[in-house]
């Protein structure tokens, strides 16, 4: 279905007066030629994380997440995030809900270096819960875009740690943990809802620092599809030796979710990966660790598959 959708939308490029870089359609963000620069644009939401926010009445985290999901996609093509607009749909107009989300969006925009320039708030009584989406715009100098086409076999894969579950896999997490144990169930001294609602980490600052200092061949945001989806930025694949995941993921695994499904669904403790030449490994790691913990995970391999090793087990994820 995805290939059919891409075929339909790619034909609309000819209607724009600006030239759309068609090979970026379906990437983390699409690029539009503005002469000396590319405009990068993307759109995303927070999925069923809104359900957790409604259960506990805390809405700021999903506002942060909305910005994070978009900003982190923009930086995957090398663009610096600049402008953000939101769409908020609610079953009924409640000031605390709207203001909570907007406060979170403001916090996220401050961290990502973006201006919130507008949006739309709709009240639709047919909805059962809040719906959120956002669109973000960024810019990258021509020749500085990062699209994965320079990735080579033997390149090093570095992962930057996530803050937790981020905004993907919440439906599965709710099914195996929340429905069984409730929101106040404790994991490592914190209630379950805190683990599930923790805002997605925003990686703009470390990635911008990295791009200004070392050669970067590829960047992938670990979101829906997780370690299967990262294959879309290259014709090659990856061999990764993963670190121990945070306890929230261990708790989900203990409920019987298979390892391959875990790595197809969740970030497993790594929020974004960067692919760099081997001789840039140490410099890249040093720059990233100024911001967040980072790990050398493995390398690029010839076969178009993600091979993951952890705790003596090995799985292979194909596109």
pLDDT-based confidence at 2, cuts 50/70/90?
low
Q: Sign (positive/negative) of CA torsion 267, 241, 292, 202?
A: negative
CA distance 119 to 97: 16
Mean pLDDT of 189-214: 96
pLDDT-based confidence at 306, cuts 50/70/90?
very high
Q: Which residues contact 133 (CB under 8 A, 6 or more apart)?
A: 43, 44, 45, 66, 86, 87
pLDDT for position 23: 82
Position 7 pLDDT exceeds 80: no
Q: Which of 92, 105, 167 is nearest to 136 (CA)?
A: 105
CA distance 93 to 70: 25
Confirm if 62 and 101 have CB atoms less than 8 A apart: yes
pLDDT for position 59: 96
Q: Which of 223, 235, 225 is nearest to 275 (CA)?
A: 235
pTM of the predicted model, to two decimals? 0.94
Q: Which CATH architecture has domain 156-317?
A: Alpha-Beta Complex (3.90)
pLDDT-based confidence at 13, cuts 50/70/90?
low
CA distance 304 to 319: 8
Would you tell me the crossing angle of helices 204-211 and 281-289 to the nearest 10 degrees?
A: 150
Q: Please give the class, per CATH, of domain 17-141.
A: alpha beta
In the chain, domain spans? 17-141, 156-317
Q: Which residues contact 59 (CB under 8 A, 6 or more apart)?
A: 53, 96, 97, 100, 101, 104, 130
Rg (CA), the chain: 19
pLDDT digits (tens, 9 = 90+) for 64-118: 999 999 999 999 999 999 999 999 999 999 999 999 999 999 999 999 999 999 9
pLDDT-based confidence at 271, cuts 50/70/90?
very high
**Phi, psi (deg, nearest 5) at residue 302:** -70, -40
Query: Could you tell me the end-to-end alpha-carbon distance of the chain, in angstroms, rounded to an integer?
Result: 14
């Amino acid at each position: 279905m995805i290939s059919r959708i891409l075929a339909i939308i790619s034909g609309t490029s000819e209607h724009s007066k600006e030239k759309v870089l068609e090979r970026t359609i379906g990437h983390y963000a699409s690029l539009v030629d503005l002469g000396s620069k590319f405009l990068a644009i993307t759109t995303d939401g927070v999925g069923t994380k809104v359900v957790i926010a409604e259960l506990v009445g805390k809405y700021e985290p999903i506002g942060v997440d909305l910005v994070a999901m978009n900003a982190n996609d923009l930086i995957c093509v090398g663009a610096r995030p600049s402008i953000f607009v939101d769409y908020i749909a609610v079953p009924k107009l409640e000031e605390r809900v709207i203001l909570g989300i907007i406060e979170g969006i403001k916090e996220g925009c401050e961290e990502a270096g973006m201006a919130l320039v507008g949006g739309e708030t709709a009240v639709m009584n047919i909805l059962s819960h809040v719906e959120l989406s956002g669109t973000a715009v960024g810019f990258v100098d021509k020749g500085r875009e990062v699209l994965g086409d320079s990735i080579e076999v033997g390149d090093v894969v570095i992962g930057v740690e996530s803050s937790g579950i981020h905004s993907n896999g919440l439906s599965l997490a709710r099914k195996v943990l929340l429905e069984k144990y409730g929101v106040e169930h404790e994991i490592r001294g914190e209630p379950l809802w805190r683990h599930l609602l923790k805002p997605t980490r925003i990686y703009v600052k470390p990635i911008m620092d990295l791009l200004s200092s070392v050669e970067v061949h590829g960047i992938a945001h670990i979101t829906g599809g997780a370690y299967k989806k990262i294959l879309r930025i290259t014709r090659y694949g990856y061999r990764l030796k993963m670190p121990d995941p945070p306890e929230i993921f261990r708790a989900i695994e203990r409920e019987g979710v298979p390892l391959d499904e875990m790595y197809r669904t969740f970030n497993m403790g790594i929020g974004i990966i960067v692919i760099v030449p081997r001789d840039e490994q140490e410099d890249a790691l040093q720059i990233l660790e100024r911001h967040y913990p980072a790990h050398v995970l493995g390398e690029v391999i010839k076969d178009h598959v993600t091979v993951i090793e952890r705790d003596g087990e090995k799985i292979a994820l194909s596109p």
